[in-house]
Copies of this chain bind each other. A is one copy, B any other.
Amino acid sequence: MPSQEIDNKDTPNTEVKPKTRTVFYVSDATAITAETLSNSVLAQFRGLAYSRYRMPFINTLEKAKQAAMRINEKGKETGVRPIVFSTLVASDLASTFNEYCNAFVIELFRAIVGPLERELGIPSDHSVGKSHEIGDQERYNKRIEAINYTLSHDDGQTNRGLEEADVILVGVSRCGKTPTSLYLAMQYGIKAANYPLIPEDFERGELPHALQGIKKKVFGLSIRPERLSVIRNERRPFSEYASIENCRYETREAEMMMNRENIPFLSSTTKSIEEISATILQKLKIKADPHIRL
């Protein structure tokens, strides 16, 4: 079974070529949990580079053996034993894999599931492929509904149903509203609309009309003008729209308006989508239908 090469290098360029370690994500399901946790953990180690490979859907004994042998080959090839983040759940899969694999294996579930069984007083299913199952169909449908809502309320496309939003992001064009809205919908099942602040709003000196009655759902994003100018220049090079003067004007006016209207906002300049989203959720204290959240 083929593994997928993910990444060659995870650290900034340095004078000395960093030592490269090979990392595998092995799972009986999507391997997304193994990858997420491994990215978080490896972010703590600087000065190393990683070649990363995904091995999802390792759900038979034969595949577990093959996966182990592929990883061993890679170890021989590189001369350093690979690091494996495994979320294999079924004990026969895990033990077959461990029996054949010569790598440094971190078993994410084994360390957690055992103690949890004792705490909860019930045995776990030890069953394969559950991590990203649809699960509760109703919750899942709400998540899809949130994604569709967010798509149809991107960039102020329509004011219809805006009052149904859990949150409405505002800010100047290209400050990060769209990816953040989509992440909120996808990860948290939140109906996130977004609405641009444009020069006409600054001239009128007031929030777009559509937002005035629902201000408590509004959250602002801002951005450093230098960064905004770089982003806009990729879209429309040498335009007035992308010029540093215009970017300075728009971000200054937008921040003044948000201050005046008491709209909480944060700067997206150095923050990832995940960090912005988690901050918004915390600041607005969104209490959406508890079944929505994933």
Whether a CB of chain B sits under 8 angstroms from the CB of A217 is no
List which A151-199 residues lie within 8 A (CB) of chain B: 151, 154, 178-179, 182-183, 186-187
A57 close to chain B: CB less than 8 A? yes
A115 nearest CB neighbor, chain B only:
B106
A209 within 8 A of B: no
What residues of chain B lie closer than 8 Å to A279, measured between beta carbons?
56-57
B57-A131 in contact (CB<8A): no
Note all chain B residues with C-beta closer than 8 A to A7: 290-291, 293
**Is the C-beta of A126 less than 8 angstroms from some C-beta in chain B?**
yes
Closest chain B residue, CB of each to CB of A8 = B290
Chain B residues whose CB sits within 8 angstroms of the CB of A182 once the complex forms? 147, 182, 186
The answer to whether A270 and B45 have CB atoms under 8 Å apart is no
A39 and B294 within 8 A (CB): yes
Q: Which residue of chain B has the shortest Cβ distance to A55 in the bound complex?
A: B282
CA distance A275 to B30 in the complex (A): 6
Q: Which of B33, B178, B186 contacts A183 (CB 8 A)?
A: B186
**CB under 8 Å from chain B, chain A span 77-120:** 83, 87, 89, 104, 106, 108-109, 111-113, 115-116, 119-120
**Candidates B120, B281, B291; contact of A54 at CB < 8 Å:** B281
Contact B2 A282, beta carbon cutoff 8 Å = yes
- Using known A-B contacts A7-B290, A108-B37, determine if residue A278 contacts B2 with beta carbons closer than 8 Å: no
Contact B83 A119 (CB under 8 A): yes
The answer to whether A111 and B111 have CB atoms under 8 Å apart is yes
Beta-carbon contacts under 8 Å, A105-144 to B: 106, 108-109, 111-113, 115-116, 119-120, 122, 124-127, 130-136, 140, 144
**What would 24 A/B residue contacts be, using CB atoms closer than 8 Å?**
A2-B282, A4-B281, A4-B285, A5-B287, A5-B290, A8-B290, A8-B291, A10-B136, A12-B136, A30-B274, A32-B36, A32-B274, A37-B37, A40-B132, A44-B130, A45-B116, A45-B120, A45-B124, A48-B120, A56-B278, A56-B279, A132-B278, A134-B271, A144-B179
